Structures are given as structure tokens and as C-alpha cells.
Amino acid sequence: MSKTVLTYGTFDLFHVGHLNLLERLRELGDRLIVGVSTDAFNTTKGKQTIVRFEDRLRIVQNIKCVDHAFAENSWAQKAEDIRQFKVNVFGMGNDWEGQFDELKPLCKVVYLPRTEGISSTRIKDALRVLDKAHVEELKQALGVISTIVERFE
């Protein structure tokens, strides 16, 4: 009997941490299906993506270990997706530990370790230095530092 694993994510700025998690989840079953959060759903979560939904979905659909990817439109759809896809295992990164335990009556729920040192949030923070407003802040800070240094010359 085949075992189906289900996970969800935004998968913005796809990186090796995403790939590692998907590969580990795929090892838990014979089939991995992935819900990719839509831009509209991310807005309700207070998230703004850099990569648009259609591109994020296409990326996930073309990952070798993913058998099927589809749109995630709401928190509420998870239970219905578990029933529809006959899911045996629901898995997420351990940063979500305990957040989906209400699904345990429907299937096994697992939380796997994240890849240390990488996340979309960290990448976005690193890219923030390229933002015009941040560059202006840096220029102002350099001006203040220059003034202080001049006092000691």
C-alpha cells in the first residue's frame, strides 16, 4: 500500500533548506504532495513574497522529489486536502512544532528539523541592504560617523 506525505509552504526565494525539507519528507512515503501558499493567502498571514505565486508553484512542481504541487488558499483547507489526497503523513519544519497537532486524528503529523543557517527571511534581510531606503540610512550613518571621526583627527 502506498504512503502519501503532504506539506505546505510559501517557498519564496527557494533555497537548499527548502530542498532538504522536501527530500526528507519524501523519504517518509511513496508520494509527496505540496501545497504552495498563494500570494492572497500570504497576505492574510502578513507575508509579502518576492517571487510571485505562479513562479513559486512552477518551481515546486519541477522538483524531482515532488509528485504533485497545488495552491494553498487558506488554513482551513488542510483537513480537506488530507482526506482528498488520502494522506498518511502530514509534515512541516520544526519551526511549526505543535501548530498542526489538530490534524493528528486524520493522519500522522511530523515536524522535521530545519536546515541550520538558512531561511527565506534571512535571505530577505541580507538583501535589504540593496533597498533604496536602507542605502539612504547607511549614507546618513556614514555622515554621522565621518563627523565623529573628524573630531578626533
One pLDDT digit (tens) per residue for the chain, 153 residues: 799 999 999 998 888 889 999 999 999 999 999 999 999 999 999 888 888 999 999 999 999 999 999 999 999 999 999 999 999 999 999 989 999 999 999 999 999 998 776 665 665 565 565 666 766 776 777 777 777 777 776
Per the residue annotation, which of 3, 45, 86, 104 is the catalytic one? 45
Per the residue annotation, which of 47, 64, 78, 132 is the catalytic one? 47
Task: Count Cβ atoms within 10 A of the Cβ of residue 142 and give its class: 0-12 exposed, 13-18 middle, 19 or more buried.
Answer: exposed
Neighbouring residues of 16: CB distance < 8 A, sequence distance ≥ 6: 115, 118
Q: Where are the domains of the chain?
A: 4-117, 119-153
Provide the grid cell at 42: 500570504
The amino acid sitting at 22 is: L
Q: Which CATH class is domain 4-117?
A: alpha beta
104 is catalytic: no
What's this model's pTM, rounded to 2 decimal places?
Answer: 0.77
64 is catalytic: no
CA–CA distances in Å: residue 48 to residues 37, 99, 135, 137: 11, 21, 21, 22
